[in-house]
């Protein structure tokens, strides 16, 4: 989507008018190029109270003398926040089917800078379709918004232009994460993810990408990654990203769960909705998307990341419930359920990150448990941390971006549950049915290395409920959401 920001520009295509509920100011300042008859029509509708501008509501109008308009209600000005503005922007894009036009002119009037920026961000985020696998018989892209001209008062132009440029950069990362999350698992398998990452590295001089392949992982003793991935013909790998690696000193480090398909392995899952388990690599998708966003926004500091890629399949070569594996850390794990595989690959990823990449902190992202969806629904990511400051910073960044991450506990009792194996150092299951996302987090904590007797600041984000589109997510029509690319970009850059 091409977006330009101008002061009092003429209308191009359909006029989009964002309006406050209960506000008198109608189409003021919006005459430029508008058919007079259409302007009257809008004024009459507003004066008669036929369009109340309740938040997220729309009305489309076609002038008898030409021109089209889309009214979008912003709700009451005192109730507005960044997220409601993003959702209103998204609504314009989702209503484009009704408009049938390639060009929109959004005319902001009497709206503050941050709210305008959030509205445009919502448009950019919502302008996404995963249609790579649809055969097209013609060039028909009529429901795509191709060009958006944004107009506001002179004083807001520069800020809005800068904010839009930044949003466009970050959105390339969100949309990359969504593409990866939506990709079918027959085409996106561990070494294909690695190939795309290597290509990304080759395309950018400040990005270095390294791949630890299956044989190397075995040699290094990465028993978690190997154990999960060995049942598949498509072998596992670990992909390491480094941005601005020439900068010295510790750097933020992201670790992603990247199960390109999770059948559950020998502890096989029920078949309904199993297809969705292609998004079990969204932790890695977000990680890769974040790298793209950081490069696109011109981040100059060092950032490192590890993605743990494997396909969890049942086969004669798959790991079994009852197996004991030795992880990269040297700790042994009793595998009681092969469907609790994410924590096994992450155990090796966390240990690698902490011992090789000199992290200032580590954040892992994982579609780790169904239990987090029971706890928080699709409204928030579960957030665990061994460091209060890191936890608060992530929570605040999530709030800023409208991607809520909600604190969850790391009680000693949960650690006790995972340490209670009769034959190994830890087990990959809690003791009973309850608190499954907490025992999973407590398991991961066992694999965060110490430096000078102190565990590295670490946070775990369980995105099982937020990485896949839900009815309440108005920024995503369907499929992978690209969750937390924006949160982490904001946390790392402050932008």
Q: Is 52 a catalytic residue?
A: no
Q: Which stretch binds ligand BES (CB under 6 A): 24-32, 35-43, 361-369, 396-404?
A: 361-369
Q: Which stretch binds ligand BES (CB under 6 A): 18-26, 143-151, 332-340, 407-415?
A: 332-340
Q: State the Cα–Cα distance between residues 200 and 52, nearest whole angstrom.
A: 48
Q: Which stretch binds ligand BES (CB under 6 A): 107-115, 292-300, 362-370, 402-410?
A: 362-370
Q: Is 343 a catalytic residue?
A: yes
Interface with Zn ion includes 402 (CB under 5 A)? no
Interface with Zn ion includes 339 (CB under 5 A)? yes
Structure tokens at 9: 């520009």
Ramachandran angles phi, psi of 411, nearest 5°: -65, 145
DSSP 10-73: PP-SEEEEEE-TT----STT--TT--HHHHHHHHHHHHTTS----TT-EEEEE-TTS-EEEEEE
For 93-131, b/e burial (b = at least 16 CB within 10 A) is: bbebeebebbebbbbbbebebebbbbbbbbbbbbbbebe
Q: Which stretch binds Zn ion (CB under 5 A): 89-97, 184-192, 274-282, 317-325?
A: 274-282
Interface with ligand BES includes 280 (CB under 6 A)? yes
Interface with ligand BES includes 22 (CB under 6 A)? no
Which residues, including other chains, have CB under 8 Å from residue 270's CB and lie 6 or more apart? none
Site string for ligand BES, 449-468 (x = CB under 6 A): ---------------x----
Q: Which stretch binds Zn ion (CB under 5 A): 47-55, 63-71, 166-174, 335-343?
A: 335-343
Closest CA to 97 of 129, 65, 53: 129
Q: State the Cα–Cα distance between residues 72 and 39, nearest whole angstrom.
A: 15
Contact with Zn ion (CB under 5 A) among 87, 242, 280, 348 = 280
Contact with ligand BES (CB under 6 A) among 89, 122, 252, 342 = 342
Exactly one of 257, 343, 427, 474 is catalytic; which is it?
A: 343
Q: Is 462:369 a contact under the CB 8 Å cutoff?
A: yes
Closest CA to 261 of 187, 202, 203, 207: 187
Name residues contacting Zn ion, limited to 241-270 (CB under 5 A). Answer: 259, 262
Q: Which does 436 bind (CB under 5 to 8 A by kind): Zn ion, ligand BES, none?
A: ligand BES
**Length of the chain in terms of residues written:** 495
**Strands laid side by side in the 405-407 sheet:** 207-212, 237-243, 303-312, 251-262, 359-366, 458-462, 381-385, 405-407
Site string for ligand BES, 248-267 (x = CB under 6 A): --------------x-----
Minimum distance from residue 365 beta carbon to ligand BES (Å): 12
Nearer to ligand BES, 272 or 453 (CB): 272
Q: Which DSSP state fits 241?
A: E
Contact with ligand BES (CB under 6 A) among 179, 242, 311, 341 = 341
Residue nearest to ligand BES (CB): 370
Contact with Zn ion (CB under 5 A) among 224, 231, 342, 398 = 342
* 3-class secondary structure, 351: helix
Which residues, including other chains, have CB under 8 Å from residue 28's CB and lie 6 or more apart? 109
Q: State the Cα–Cα distance between residues 239 and 247, nearest whole angstrom.
A: 20
Exactly one of 269, 326, 331, 419 is catalytic; which is it?
A: 269
Interface with ligand BES includes 340 (CB under 6 A)? yes
Total of chain residues touching ligand BES, rule CB under 6 A? 15
Active site (catalytic) residues = 269, 343
Where do contacts with Zn ion occur on this chain (CB under 5 A)? 259, 262, 280, 339, 341-342
């Amino acid at each position: 989507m091409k977006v330009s920001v101008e002061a009092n520009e003429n209308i191009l295509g359909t006029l989009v008018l964002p309006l406050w509920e209960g506000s008198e100011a109608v189409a003021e300042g919006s005459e430029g190029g508008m058919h007079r008859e259409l302007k009257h029509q809008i004024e009459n509708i507003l004066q008669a109270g036929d369009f109340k501008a309740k938040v997220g509501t729309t009305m489309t109008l076609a002038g008898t003398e030409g021109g089209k308009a889309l009214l979008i209600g912003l709700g009451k000005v005192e109730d507005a926040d960044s997220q409601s503005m993003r959702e209103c922007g998204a609504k314009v894009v989702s209503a484009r089917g009704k408009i049938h036009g390639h060009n929109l002119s959004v005319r902001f009037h009497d709206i503050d800078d941050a709210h305008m920026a959030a509205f445009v961000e919502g448009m950019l985020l919502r302008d996404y379709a995963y249609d790579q696998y649809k055969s097209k018989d013609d060039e028909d892209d009529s429901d795509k918004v191709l060009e958006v001209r944004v107009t506001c008062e002179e004083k807001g132009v520069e800020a809005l232009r800068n904010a839009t440029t930044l949003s466009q950069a970050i959105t390339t990362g969100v949309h990359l994460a969504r593409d990866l999350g939506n990709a079918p698992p027959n085409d996106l398998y561990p070494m294909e993810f690695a190939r795309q990452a290597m290509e990304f590295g080759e395309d950018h001089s400040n990005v270095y990408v390294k791949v630890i392949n299956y044989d190397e992982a075995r040699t290094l003793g990465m028993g978690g990654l190997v154990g999960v991935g060995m049942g598949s013909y498509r072998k596992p790998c670990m992909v390491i990203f480094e941005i601005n690696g020439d900068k010295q000193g510790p750097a933020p480090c992201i670790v992603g769960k990247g199960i390109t398909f999770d059948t559950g392995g020998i502890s096989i899952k029920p078949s309904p909705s199993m297809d969705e388990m292609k998004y079990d690599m969204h932790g890695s998708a977000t990680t890769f998307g974040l790298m793209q966003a950081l490069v696109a926004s011109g981040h100059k500091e060092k950032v490192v990341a590890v993605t743990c890629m494997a396909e969890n399949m049942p086969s004669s070569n798959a790991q079994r419930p009852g197996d004991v594996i030795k992880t990269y850390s040297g700790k042994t794990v009793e595998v009681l359920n092969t469907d609790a595989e994410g924590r096994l690959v992450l155990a090796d990823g966390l240990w690698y990150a902490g011992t090789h990449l000199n992290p200032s902190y580590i954040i892992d992202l994982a579609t780790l448990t169904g239990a987090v969806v029971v706890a928080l629904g699709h409204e928030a990511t579960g957030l665990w941390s061994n460091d209060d400051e890191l936890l608060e910073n992530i929570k605040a960044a999530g709030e800023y971006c409208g991607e809520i991450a909600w604190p969850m506990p790391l009680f000693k009792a949960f650690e006790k549950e995972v340490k209670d194996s009769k034959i190994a150092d830890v087990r990959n299951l809690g003791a009973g049915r309850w608190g499954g996302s907490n025992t999973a987090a407590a398991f991961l904590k066992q694999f965060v290395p110490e430096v000078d007797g102190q565990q590295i600041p670490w946070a775990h984000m369980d995105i099982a409920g937020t990485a896949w589109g839900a009815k309440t997510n108005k920024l995503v029509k369907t499929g992978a959401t690209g969750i937390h690319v924006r949160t982490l970009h904001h946390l790392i850059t402050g932008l």
